[in-house]
Amino acid sequence: MIVVMQAHAPESEVEAVIDRLTELGFDVHRSTGVDHTVLGAVGRTPCDPRALEILPGVRQVVRVSEPYKLASRTFRPQDTVIEVQGLKLGGPEVVVIAGPCSVESPDQIQTAAKIVRQAGCRALRGGAFKPRTSPYSFQGLGEEALRWLRRAADREELLVVTEVMDTSQITTVAKYADILQVGARNMQNYALLKELGKLNKPVLLKRGLAGTIEELLMSAEYLLAGGNYQVILCERGIRTFETAARNTLDLCAIPIVHKLSHLPILADPSHGTGLRDKVAPMARAAVAAGADGLLIEVHPEPEKAVSDGVQSLLPEDLFALMEQLKIIATAVGRRLA
Amino acid sequence: MIVVMQAHAPESEVEAVIDRLTELGFDVHRSTGVDHTVLGAVGRTPCDPRALEILPGVRQVVRVSEPYKLASRTFRPQDTVIEVQGLKLGGPEVVVIAGPCSVESPDQIQTAAKIVRQAGCRALRGGAFKPRTSPYSFQGLGEEALRWLRRAADREELLVVTEVMDTSQITTVAKYADILQVGARNMQNYALLKELGKLNKPVLLKRGLAGTIEELLMSAEYLLAGGNYQVILCERGIRTFETAARNTLDLCAIPIVHKLSHLPILADPSHGTGLRDKVAPMARAAVAAGADGLLIEVHPEPEKAVSDGVQSLLPEDLFALMEQLKIIATAVGRRLA
Amino acid sequence: MIVVMQAHAPESEVEAVIDRLTELGFDVHRSTGVDHTVLGAVGRTPCDPRALEILPGVRQVVRVSEPYKLASRTFRPQDTVIEVQGLKLGGPEVVVIAGPCSVESPDQIQTAAKIVRQAGCRALRGGAFKPRTSPYSFQGLGEEALRWLRRAADREELLVVTEVMDTSQITTVAKYADILQVGARNMQNYALLKELGKLNKPVLLKRGLAGTIEELLMSAEYLLAGGNYQVILCERGIRTFETAARNTLDLCAIPIVHKLSHLPILADPSHGTGLRDKVAPMARAAVAAGADGLLIEVHPEPEKAVSDGVQSLLPEDLFALMEQLKIIATAVGRRLA
Amino acid sequence: MIVVMQAHAPESEVEAVIDRLTELGFDVHRSTGVDHTVLGAVGRTPCDPRALEILPGVRQVVRVSEPYKLASRTFRPQDTVIEVQGLKLGGPEVVVIAGPCSVESPDQIQTAAKIVRQAGCRALRGGAFKPRTSPYSFQGLGEEALRWLRRAADREELLVVTEVMDTSQITTVAKYADILQVGARNMQNYALLKELGKLNKPVLLKRGLAGTIEELLMSAEYLLAGGNYQVILCERGIRTFETAARNTLDLCAIPIVHKLSHLPILADPSHGTGLRDKVAPMARAAVAAGADGLLIEVHPEPEKAVSDGVQSLLPEDLFALMEQLKIIATAVGRRLA
């Protein structure tokens, strides 16, 4: 923590700040300049910088350590590789997870699973509990859909990735899923994160629409601090002034997360763009930027999908995309899983 | 719903769209222009516009009705006035709710309650369950804090407003609170909204950092659709590129909500700015813009607050502010409650 | 300037940074902590912090002084009051400048001037050179419109405020205007700012759609550094994700600018909202927040306006608003000019 | 143009709108629904939708045609390929333009040109007129720098790309440059765009920090409408709430522009990220997303650069990046120029 005093702050104010820092358990180093006195506070006490900014005579407080610990690369310099049933996320392989937005029927999800497998993907996504902006929209088919999803995935030897929306759903979802997804709207649902921190299953944590990269890592910290080290991050678009696409996919978050943290990070070009014909370009771009994997919506018949058909790839789009991704992966020294 | 076809779309595509709209239960009116064919789809079926945008030959789909029904002024033209223990929100009176960010001790909340009463406010706020970005920050004292809060409020004849973060906390919080607050991070926690929709107590719903006004009203719709008509909205700042204040308080949301909806709307200048010396100007501005009330943080000793002291008013600040608000209220034909 | 070294940066890197800072003319104070070494660089040399961030072993560089000098309150603690023909901006009086978006005809501007005077305003606005998003939109009537504007203002004893878009227009505009306006799109048109810095007339500088408050003050610094101290700032809305209004009027910029700078700041609720029925609420809010004045669009017949009629007040709206503003001004210890 | 009337708008209001549309030169088709009357206005008159929104009884106005004409793919379905001295932009080849932020000395730019050529790039960038946030920062060396830049480029057989900031600089810059760049801050400097529209040289138009894709195309329309068809667009990052990188590079703008317009579009990962180690990942991503080229900062000795050294690649970084780009270009059916 570094505290910069206001220009010409009186000695009494400087001393009051030093006393407060000492009380809080810091060692204080003082540096007196022409205009400004600067205090370096050394220690490991967690402390809200704003609690110091409020003291008389203080101009600015700068935090030196990252607010997250377990999620930081300082804490763990080597990449975290998460192994789920033999599939490794965060290693040299790029993992593509695909499937429909919602699980709609046993047939639909079975057909989707076949396409996903045929494309060479290793995991199947599909929603049973759907967070929808309108209470009048399709809300998902619940546990029955999870059963269909599991069965379809098993037949095609795929992993299951599906969303959990509330603490009350964790037990049910964990029964069927290999990886539990926390959606963008729940990135800061701390009650949910705390419970998932106690779970012994990987969690895929999506960045919220207004979530900074630092906040995404802080939310991951909730999971890690709870004891669950199997955390996979996912960039899925942020909200900006541009409305030509549904969201602005912030692909620079990928190299930034890789520098700050040891956790793997995927990209979701389907939600990140909301437009089918933008999914393949952004999927290619994500892998070129270093993503550890992708989350992609594909539907056997998008025009009949009950949700998000407009952003779902057609099966043939997915096949063509996988061929392009193979080439791009080699450019960054990787290969598709 | 209005469907604009692409320039020179072939007749077969136009007819396919008409068939689909008819299937969905709409009456279709066709208007053929020089370049574009336009289809007006009349009916009351809920329908995601993007499900039509995906059809071949479609250029643009425009929704005519608002996606929310019960929250709209079309549904209910007159203002909703919510009466809680004799206090009316949404009527001619401007209601100021004040108190500390967190309930810290019986003494602290009792002293705060006295200040709040002395200032002429009618309701006491204070957090027992705190949503914090860091798992290492103070998380609130839970039910014990609720008991202290209730007792302090009762002694000073104030209402209690406090936050509920998860479905599992509703019963406990409802035991002590007169108004249950849904925080900005939970604006789209639909599991929570659905449960609160079944409750017979007023809910104060805060706008999320990335929540549009339309989405705020859609979240209110979850509560209304569940049967709970006692919904109070609150503007508390959105996230933009400007970092000089913690958030950007979007005061224009107040007249916009008043035009679109019959629900009352408050402003929270404490979270909306994050800076003590900006709270009073923004509180005054909110009342001048037509807010039905304010949510303000005040702390007996802000520099000792365990959370958000930097944005809490000093008692004397609150007293001075209330005097200014009395004058401003008259300029907009209202009075302080 | 404070330089924080990376945890456990080797001594050689620390010394290289000290050498560089010394070369740049700084006195360096070193503070060695458990994890981090911190260097305080004292001096008045201008220096881009990123030029230090690039050095090996550097983790973070924090600028202590504001990047602007002449615009800062540290440089000039008392408020700047700009006097134009007897009208004082930045003092205890709140100044309302009103008029149509564009000057359209001698009659239109004369009628508008009468309304503006009748409402009790002191200055007339109106555009002769119009920055328009489309090359096919009305671009303004140029010098002829300036002549009409001047004549109308003179008859009603009003000041003239009008926009200048390019260095080539300065001489012409300065011939007719009392205050030259730099529009939002030109906030960072440095060639224009440099030329206006040499002028002996007040400049009204509008905040850009993506301009931070710091950048607004840096653009003011261009004018001040050129020798023109008659600078008036104006908040007119920033671009955010919210689309319910045309822009998001950031009223908190008013108290923030008042704290950081001695320059007066106005608000423009017409461009800030883009919607006629939101202008009065936001105008009231701006004065309640401490604005030194307002810039408001009014048109004798808004539905016939060639530009921005939808955000122009009707004459009777302006009269009613002025009455409300009189009351609100007293609440903040001011009066209308 | 489609005009949706308010629910149950009286016949007199509907007729007044029809009359107005007819006056404006539109053919009107009426469609009367249960709740809403919808008017389809067919014609080619340019018209601000807000001028209709203001009429009594109107609820919503929807523009059907794009506001830009010459820039749209409807106007010109095939890609525009701009040929400059044998180099083709917008065709199958991906063009990399590289060089330092500022031209600093004859030696610096000569060394830079050698590196750029050696890396296999075809054009040299470098600034002589620099738009800087602070009036105290290095402002560029002007015409002398342009001479050095031209000479260095000629020796290495490279094209010259450099920025023009004001109408008064066009003649000078055009004397030395093959392609004139309009910077992000000037995207809506219409006086400048109008003058460049008369020029017979290619213009590289950068997207502004708050510029929507539609506005970028509207600014291009100013150039095209003036008669200059040699327009190259460039995505260089927009301003959002995320501060981990300097800007948010919106790569989805690339496929979106390709769909809406026939003009070529480049990406600038240097300004788009502001961080050297993020430049290569974002450069790769841009090519994977379909960019027609890149604008990259490289400096022989970045730590000594007078501006933007922190985002400039080292020579060896550029060489390595070009190898990766070669592979990625093949994945999207292209090759490096």
pLDDT tens digit string along A132-171? Answer: 998 988 899 999 999 999 999 999 999 999 999 999 999 9
- The fraction of chain C above a pLDDT of 70, given in percent, is 98
Q: Is the dihedral of CA A110, A114, A116, A117 positive or negative?
A: positive
User: Which residues in chain D have Cβ-Cβ distances shorter than 8 Å to A292?
Assistant: none
Nearest CA in chain A to B306: A51
Closest CA to D221 of D51, D25, D75: D75
CB contact under 8 A, C2 and A62: yes
User: Which residues in chain D have Cβ-Cβ distances shorter than 8 Å to C310?
Assistant: 50-51, 53-54
Residue in A212, A252, A328 closest to D328 by CB: A328
Confidence bin at A103 (pLDDT 50/70/90): very high
Confidence bin at C34 (pLDDT 50/70/90): low
For residues D59 and B258, give the distance between their C-alpha atoms in angstroms, rounded to a whole number: 16
Closest CA to A127 of A312, A320, A314: A312
Is residue C17 within 8 Å of C29, Cβ to Cβ? Answer: no
CB contact under 8 A, A210 and D241: yes
* Averaged pLDDT score across all residues of chain C: 93
User: Which residues in chain B have Cβ-Cβ distances shorter than 8 Å to D4?
Assistant: 2, 62, 64
CB contact under 8 A, D289 and A287: no
Question: Is A302 a residue whose pLDDT tops 70?
Answer: yes
Residue in B36, B60, B64 closest to D36 by CB: B64
Question: Is A30 a residue whose pLDDT tops 90?
Answer: no
CA-CA-CA-CA dihedral for A189, A190, A194, A195, to nearest 10 = -30
Look-up of token digits 């950068």: D206
What does the pLDDT average to over A203-225?
Answer: 97
Lay out the sheet containing A27-32: strands in order across: A27-32, A37-42, A2-5, A58-62
For the beta carbon of residue B6, count every other beta carbon within 10 angstroms: 17
Per-residue model confidence (pLDDT) at position B34: 65
A 236-265 near D (Cβ less than 8 A): 238, 240-245, 248-256, 259
Would you call D112 helix, strand, or coil by DSSP?
helix
User: Which residues in chain D have Cβ-Cβ distances shorter than 8 Å to B8?
Assistant: none
For B243-265, the pLDDT digits (tens) are 999 999 999 999 999 999 999 99
The minimum CA-CA distance between C209 and chain D, rounded to whole Å, is: 6
Show the CA angle centred on residue C239, arms to residues C169 and B284, nearest 5°. 105
CA-CA-CA-CA dihedral for B65, B70, B75, B76, to nearest 10 = -150
Is residue B269 within 8 Å of B278, Cβ to Cβ? Answer: yes
CB contact under 8 A, C48 and D307: yes
Question: Is A234 a residue whose pLDDT tops 80?
Answer: yes
For an interface test with C, the pick among D21, D189, D308 (most C C-beta atoms closer than 10 Å) comes out as: D189
Closest CA to B289 of C93, C249, C313: C249
Residue in C4, C29, C239 closest to A241 by CB: C239
Confidence bin at B1 (pLDDT 50/70/90): confident
Per-residue model confidence (pLDDT) at position D204: 98
Per-residue tens of pLDDT for chain D, all 337 residues = 788 888 788 899 999 999 988 888 888 878 776 667 888 777 766 677 777 887 888 888 877 767 899 999 988 999 999 999 999 999 999 999 999 999 999 999 999 999 999 999 999 999 999 999 989 888 999 999 999 999 999 999 999 999 999 999 999 999 999 999 999 999 999 999 999 999 999 999 999 999 999 999 999 999 999 999 999 999 999 999 999 999 999 999 999 999 999 999 999 999 999 999 999 999 999 999 999 999 999 999 887 888 778 899 999 999 999 999 999 999 999 999 9
User: Which residues in chain A have Cβ-Cβ distances shorter than 8 Å to C38?
Assistant: 2, 29, 40, 64
Q: Does C45 touch chain B if contact means CB atoms closer than 8 Å?
A: no
The minimum CA-CA distance between B321 and chain D, rounded to whole Å, is: 31
The minimum CA-CA distance between C113 and chain A, rounded to whole Å, is: 36
For residues D192 and A328, give the distance between their C-alpha atoms in angstroms, rounded to a whole number: 40
B·D CB contacts under 8 A: 63
Per-residue model confidence (pLDDT) at position C8: 81
For residues C204 and C163, give the distance between their C-alpha atoms in angstroms, rounded to a whole number: 9
Is residue C122 within 8 Å of C293, Cβ to Cβ? Answer: no
* Averaged pLDDT score across all residues of chain A: 93
CB contact under 8 A, A252 and D210: no
Per-residue model confidence (pLDDT) at position C123: 98
CB contact under 8 A, A64 and C4: yes
Per-residue model confidence (pLDDT) at position C302: 85
The minimum CA-CA distance between D142 and chain B, rounded to whole Å, is: 33
The minimum CA-CA distance between A164 and chain C, rounded to whole Å, is: 27
Q: Does D36 touch chain B if contact means CB atoms closer than 8 Å?
A: yes
Per-residue model confidence (pLDDT) at position A109: 97
Confidence bin at C57 (pLDDT 50/70/90): confident
Question: Is A97 a residue whose pLDDT tops 90?
Answer: yes
User: Which residues in chain A have Cβ-Cβ distances shorter than 8 Å to B183?
Assistant: none
The alpha carbon of residue B242 and the mean position of all alpha carbons in its chain are separated, in whole angstroms, by 22
Tokens of D170: 């066009």
Judging by DSSP bridges, how do beta strands C93-99 and C123-125 pair with one another? parallel
Per-residue model confidence (pLDDT) at position D44: 65
Per-residue model confidence (pLDDT) at position D307: 79
In CATH terms, is domain B2-62 a member of 3.40.50.2300?
no
Per-residue model confidence (pLDDT) at position D34: 65
Which chains share 3+ C-beta pairs under 8 angstroms with D? A, B, C
Is residue C142 within 8 Å of C149, Cβ to Cβ? Answer: no
Helix/strand/coil percent split, chain A, to 5: 35, 20, 40
B 193-212 near A (Cβ less than 8 A): 194, 208-210
Q: What are the distances in angstroms from CA C260 to CA A8, A59, C1, D263?
A: 17, 12, 19, 44
Closest CA to C206 of C231, C177, C169, C174: C231
Most confident of the ranges A77-91, B41-55, B305-319: A77-91
| Lowest model confidence (mean pLDDT) among B12-16, B103-107, B183-187, C105-109 | B12-16
For residues D248 and B240, give the distance between their C-alpha atoms in angstroms, rounded to a whole number: 13
Which chains share 3+ C-beta pairs under 8 angstroms with A? B, C, D
Per-residue model confidence (pLDDT) at position C247: 96
User: Which residues in chain A have Cβ-Cβ distances shorter than 8 Å to D332?
Assistant: 284, 324
Would you call A323 helix, strand, or coil by DSSP?
helix
Complex prediction ipTM? 0.93
Per-residue model confidence (pLDDT) at position D27: 81
For D104-151, the pLDDT digits (tens) are 999 999 999 999 999 999 999 999 999 999 898 889 999 999 999 999
For A72-91, the pLDDT digits (tens) are 998 899 999 999 999 999 99
A 71-130 near B (Cβ less than 8 A): none
The minimum CA-CA distance between A279 and chain B, rounded to whole Å, is: 14
Show the CA angle centred on residue A134, arms to residues A129 and A140, nearest 5°. 20
pTM for this predicted structure = 0.94
* Averaged pLDDT score across all residues of chain B: 93
Residue in A254, A277, A282 closest to D289 by CB: A282
Look-up of token digits 């790569």: D251
Confidence bin at A45 (pLDDT 50/70/90): low
User: Which residues in chain D have Cβ-Cβ distances shorter than 8 Å to B240?
Assistant: 241
User: Which residues in chain B have Cβ-Cβ distances shorter than 8 Å to D244?
Assistant: none
> What DSSP string describes C291-316?
-SEEEEEB-SSGGG-SS-GGGPBPHH
| Lowest model confidence (mean pLDDT) among A3-17, A52-66, C220-234 | A52-66
Confidence bin at B24 (pLDDT 50/70/90): confident
Nearest CA in chain A to B226: A135
For an interface test with A, the pick among B44, B136, B240 (most A C-beta atoms closer than 10 Å) comes out as: B136
Q: Does C18 touch chain A if contact means CB atoms closer than 8 Å?
A: no
For D271-292, the pLDDT digits (tens) are 999 999 999 999 999 999 999 9
Tokens of D173: 């810059």
Confidence bin at A44 (pLDDT 50/70/90): low
CATH class of the structural domain C82-336:
alpha beta
Q: Does D328 touch chain A if contact means CB atoms closer than 8 Å?
A: yes
Confidence bin at B44 (pLDDT 50/70/90): low
User: Which residues in chain D have Cβ-Cβ distances shorter than 8 Å to C165?
Assistant: 189-191
For residues B266 and B181, give the distance between their C-alpha atoms in angstroms, rounded to a whole number: 12
Residue boundaries of the structural domains of chain D: 2-62, 82-336
CB contact under 8 A, A238 and D243: no
CB contact under 8 A, C135 and D209: no
CB contact under 8 A, C188 and D185: yes
Judging by DSSP bridges, how do beta strands A203-206 and A179-182 pair with one another? parallel
Letter for the amino acid at D282?
M
User: Which residues in chain C have Cβ-Cβ distances shorter than 8 Å to A244?
Assistant: none
Per the model's pLDDT, the better-predicted residue between B170 and C46 turns out to be B170
Q: Does C49 touch chain D if contact means CB atoms closer than 8 Å?
A: no
For residues C224 and C75, give the distance between their C-alpha atoms in angstroms, rounded to a whole number: 12
Judging by DSSP bridges, how do beta strands D37-42 and D27-32 pair with one another? antiparallel
